[in-house]
Structure 1
Amino acid sequence: MESWLFLALILVVALVGKNISLIIATGVVMLFKLLPFTSKWLPTIQAKGINWGVTVISVAILIPIATGQIGFKDLIKT
């Protein structure tokens, strides 16, 4: 029960601060807690989540290079 209260408090703070990423993250974790079969996934997500997140952010950063929005010309200017 304490974990639900803690997550609810984090959700309230995220809502007040209008932090969409934290709102989504808290909502997903609360949803995972509601579903009985996901309790086995939580340790895996905890262990690997940072690496997955860094990978997603890296992909987002590399997309402008792949689409041609950023090229060597821009790199030289920088």
Structure 2
Amino acid sequence: MTQETIFLLILLMLGLLSKNNSVVIAAIILLLIRWSMLAPYVLPWMKENGLNLGIIVITVAVLVPIATGDVRLQDLYNVINSHKGWVVIIAGILVAILGAAGLGLLADDPEVTVGLILGTILGIVLFKGVPVGPLIGAGIAVVLLKGLDLLKFW
């Protein structure tokens, strides 16, 4: 058994223990691809395009309420005319900025993913957290790492 397979099996077990369906499904898909003849073709393509494809899928999912008519122009008007709405808009902006920073960190330093998964699992198990995805976690990591760099400077 290869190191990659062992690692994916460990992630699968951790995903099962933490009830993180995203990690479970991802690990199973990657194991099936690794064990198939498609691995040399599919894995490089996924490495190159996977994050962007995932962002497209998430964006489509977020926009579905608009397409179904559950969110209307009146809702937009109500949001921009309330304090709560502006807080949520600013939070959305910050999340998008953190996600972009996280995307850069994941692209530049892929082994960060392991720490994010471990942190997510610990957050779920120890603090009853909810898995929200690696981009925001990586974005927060970027902010924390830059903060640590500033502390080193002083």
Shorter-chain TM-score: which interval?
over 0.9
- Counterpart residue number, 2:55: 54
1:65 and 1:71 in contact (8 A); partners too: yes
For 1:65 and 1:3, the matched residues in 2 are separated by 41
Quick one: percent identity of the two aligned structures? 35
1:28-75 CA distance string (max 9 Å, x none): 000001111332111111110011000011111111101110011111
The aligned runs of 1:14-29 (5 Å cut-off) are 14-29=15-30
Structure holding more helix per residue: 1
State the aligned residue count: 78
For 1:50 and 1:74, the matched residues in 2 are separated by 30
Give the alignment's Cα RMSD to 1 decimal. Answer: 0.9
- Counterpart residue number, 1:30: 31
- The Cα shift of 1:14 comes to 0.4
* Higher RCO (CA < 8 A, seq sep 6+): 2
1:32 and 1:39 in contact (8 A); partners too: no
Gaps of 5+ in 2: 80-154
- The 4+ residue runs of structure 1 with deviation greater than 6 A are none
Q: TM-score, structure 1 length as denominator?
A: 0.94
Q: TM-score, structure 2 length as denominator?
A: 0.49
Gaps of 5+ in 1: none
